Amino acid sequence: MTQASEFSLAELLVVATSEAWRGNGEVLASGIGPIPRLGASLAKLTHTPELLMTDSEAFLVEDPIPLGPRGDYRPKFSGSMNFARVFDCVWGGKRHVMIGPVQIDRWGQTNLSCIGDFHKPKVQQLGVRGLPGNSINHLNSMFIVNHSARVFVPGEVDVVGGVGYNPDRWPPGVKRDFVDLRLIVTNLCVMDFGGPEHAIQVASLHPGVTFEEVQAATGFPLLKSPSIKTTEGPTDEQLAIIRRLDPHNIRATVIKDNPPGIR
């Protein structure tokens, strides 16, 4: 399968995010936001068909649902995944979620609560939401549309909502075995936690991006994976699936000016 000749950065990111779910088995794939959701859908329709997905509201589906207004398309439901069952699924460890936190630190800890002092935030965000429960129970990945040192902060994130690999945060006796951070996909690169002590390393650079650029946009020192490569763009087959799943081209609105995949 060869790479398509023309594709957008958003389309490359869909393919990159889909890799997070490769080989996960029968778990609930939750991609939060258009790109991760397309990525999860692509994963299910190509390399990992056994994934479970929802209609983003309350029901399980076997065919991933296209984004946005559905016209004549009527989703077919295979089961229920209301909020109570989402918690059962989370606590049972049968899920892999990809979220877009406002901050990530070198230990993979994430923040969706607020920026600044918790007692008087500079910018209130959503709250910790499900981050503490997700991160301590099942597979987690992250998607960042604008890779910068404001997101990848020098110290710890302002409010640790999602747990990570900071040993100081783990009191004796607390079970960390289920913490499993997988990929961080950004507009510049794909990173994983494959370095020593789960250190973040750059696994692949998007076409035309250098390691130095990524480092300059990151608030902490990054490692380079020994097998660092160039992120693969979509094949024609993958592009056709992405177009079918996103008939209104919502993916084109995710990154400013919808840049091409090869810069």
Residues lying near other proteins in the complex (CB under 8 A): 55-59, 65, 67-70, 80, 82-84, 87, 90-91, 113-114, 118-133, 135-137, 159-163, 169-176, 178-179
Give least dist CB 21 to other proteins, A.
Answer: 19
Give least dist CB 69 to other proteins, A.
Answer: 6
Residues contacting 225, CB < 8 A, separation 6+: 192, 194, 195, 201, 202, 203, 204
Which class for 142: exposed (0-12), middle (13-18), buried (19 or more C-beta within 10 A)?
buried
**Secondary structure letter of residue 260 according to DSSP:** B
Give least dist CB 226 to other proteins, A.
Answer: 29
The nearer residue to other proteins, 86 or 209, going by C-beta atoms, is 86
Give least dist CB 219 to other proteins, A.
Answer: 19
The nearer residue to other proteins, 86 or 188, going by C-beta atoms, is 86
The nearer residue to other proteins, 85 or 224, going by C-beta atoms, is 85
The nearer residue to other proteins, 21 or 107, going by C-beta atoms, is 107
The token pair that represents 60 in the structure block: 């399980």
* Farthest-apart Cα atoms in the chain, separation: 55
Angle at 76 between CA 75 and CA 78, to 5 degrees: 135
